[in-house]
């Protein structure tokens, strides 16, 4: 039971960090390079919480960041 609670806690923390980073990128006057460094930092944090889950991050969270970056910086 404790393992499940720990996983849920780590997942809540990751969701908070992802949501916070997305909102920060959307609302702050930062360069595209700064935004990309934030995304890289969130990915690194996610992999510290969940080692070996690069593919999961790339499937679940990377598209959200890509969409936000594309909208903010008018990328294709």
Which DSSP category does 74 fall into?
A: T
Q: What is the rounded distance in angstroms from the CA atom of residue 15 to the CA atom of residue 20?
A: 8
For 9-63, write each residue's pLDDT tens digit.
Answer: 999 999 999 999 999 999 999 999 999 999 999 999 999 999 999 999 999 999 9
Alpha-carbon dihedral sign for residues 46, 56, 62, 60: negative
pLDDT at residue 7 in the model: 95
Alpha-carbon dihedral sign for residues 38, 34, 69, 62: negative
pLDDT at 76 over 70: no
Q: Is the pTM of this model over 0.75?
A: yes
Among all chains, which residue has been given the structure tokens 């890289």? 40
Which among 19, 59, 70 has a CA at the least distance from the CA of 42? 19
Structurally, how many domains does the chain consist of?
A: 1
pLDDT at 75 over 90: no
Query: Where in the sequence is the domain holding 40, given as residue range(s)?
Result: 2-73
């Amino acid at each position: 039971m404790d393992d499940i609670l720990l996983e849920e806690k780590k997942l809540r923390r990751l969701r908070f960090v992802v949501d916070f980073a997305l909102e920060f990128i959307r609302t702050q006057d930062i360069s595209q390079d700064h935004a990309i460094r934030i995304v890289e930092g969130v990915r690194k944090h996610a992999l510290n919480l969940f080692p070996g889950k690069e593919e999961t991050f790339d499937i679940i969270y990377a598209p959200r960041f890509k969409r936000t970056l594309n909208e903010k910086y008018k990328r294709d």
